[in-house]
Structure 1
Amino acid sequence: MNRIIFATGNAGKMVEVREILAGVDAEVLSMKEAGIKADIVEDGSTFEENALIKARAIHAQCGCLVLADDSGLEVDAMDKAPGIYSARFMGEDTSYEIKNQAIIDRLAGLEGSARSARFRCVIAAVFPDGTEAVTEGTIEGEIAHAPSGRGGFGYDPIFYLPEKGKTTADLTAEEKNAISHRGIALSRMKPLIQKWCEENKG
């Protein structure tokens, strides 16, 4: 069976990835599951550059189909920060409870559209022959006034969807994957992966 390595060590992200890529005729593994260790310096200036840096680095080690994502939260009132620094915002070891509260505090006094934000995700693929592909997904919302929900991970508890009256952490996994930035980006990549799997059976 074909193998796909998803360049992450984030267990929550792997759950989402496997659910979204269900039906693809390949085994989807994290770097850890594939026994790959890499200290990748994400020094790109955009989500696309960082996703490609990760995918290329892992592809150089395994030569198989590698997927990588770079994603983050863009808060308009914070000049689209934390953006590409979402994972490293306030330090890599800072808990998301602290990060989330800090963002809420920065938006004190703002209401409605003044709290606008989006999740953005870029998926990069490097195929065994070196061919590359990139897809992107975004989801628009607002920063909640207080964290809510136990689902998801990261900034999900403060990302509020006005049309649903919920944060993305309040959604079920199925609901979130259907509309999430990662769900959209991966769904756009999925046909390319399926085509490759069909051409490389055996």
Structure 2
Amino acid sequence: MTKLLLATRNAKKLVELQRILDHALGRHAIELVGLGDVPEYPEAPETGLTFGENALLKAREGVKYTGLPTVADDSGLAVDALSGMPGVFSARWAGRHGDDKANLELVLAQISDLPDENRGAAFVCAAALVLPGGKEHLVDGRQAGRLIRGPRGEGGFGYDPIFVAEDQTRTNAELTPEEKDAISHRGKAFRALAKVIAKTLLAA
């Protein structure tokens, strides 16, 4: 089995990518491990100004310190009325990295006076694969939609409870994992990356 590092400590993201890879490549084709499964190494800060820059930075670090082919993604919410922000700052919009509730509440507060027709937003994801030999691949995915006025649903993570995708009536957090994978920004990016993984890691 081919071992692949996903440079994240987010357990839900690991489960999500493993599910997508299993569906695209067949179960047990790839053994996905996270940062908690490899010896700890110094993680570089996400200093890129784009999702792609940050994804490549994290993937390169993973290869450098573990020698494993490494996938990393950077994703976030781009709100039309906030000129595309929080963008690359989505995970730390309220000041502390990974505080989903505070981040979500701050975004809602910032657009609280906007009518429903002006609450457009999109989830954006860039996913990178870096190989020990130095080859790099970068793909992206986008999910357009709108923000509602309060959280709904228990699934997903991040801003999922306040985001309703185009042609949907339920939030991302109300969708089943399979429904979300089919339309989400990360699902689109990771499915594109699965094709690259199949050609570069599983071709033999």
TM-score by length of 2: 0.93
Deviations 1:44-101 (A, max 9, x none): 1110000011001111012221000000000010111100001111112573222212
**8 Å contact from structure 2 (residues 161, 172) kept in 1:** yes
Shift in CA distance, 31/100, structure 1 to aligned 2, threshold 3 Å: same
Question: 1:129 is paired with a residue of what secondary structure?
Answer: coil
- Any idea what the Cα deviations from partners look like across 1:117-156, whole Å, max 9, x if unmatched? 0000000110121100000000001111111000001111
- Going from structure 1 to structure 2, the CA distance change for 1:95 and 1:199 (only over 3 Å counts) comes to closer
* Alignment partners' CA distance in 2, 1:136 and 1:182: 8
2:139–2:192 Cα contact (<8 Å) kept: yes
Matched residues in 1 for 2:29 and 2:96: separation? 35
Query: Residues of 1 paired with 2:5 and 2:42: CA distance?
Result: 13
Contact (CA 8 Å) 2:38, 2:66: kept in 1 or not? Answer: no
> Number of residues paired by the alignment?
200
Aligned residue for 1:125, secondary structure, equals strand
Partner of 1:13: 13
CA contact 1:26–1:197 (8 Å) conserved in 2: no
- TM-score of the pair, normalised by structure 1: 0.93
1:77 to 2:81 alignment: yes
| 1:164 to 2:152 alignment | no
Match of 1:117 in 2: 121
What's 1:196 paired with? 200
What percentage of residue pairs aligned between the two structures are identical?
39
| Larger relative helix fraction | 2
**Aligned-CA RMSD value:** 1.5
Shift of 1:37: 3.0
Inter-partner Cα distance in structure 1 for 2:70 and 2:10: 16
Q: Which residue of structure 1 lines up, in the alignment, with residue 54 of structure 2?
A: 50
Separation in structure 2 between the aligned mates of residue 185 and residue 66 of structure 1, nearest angstrom? 15
Aligned to 1:103: 107
Say whether the 8 Å CA contact 1:25–1:194 is kept in structure 2. no
Instruction: Give the 3 Å change call, closer, same or farther, for CA 184–64 of structure 1 in structure 2.
Output: same
Which of 140, 146, 150 is the aligned partner of 1:142?
146
Match in the other structure for 2:3: 3
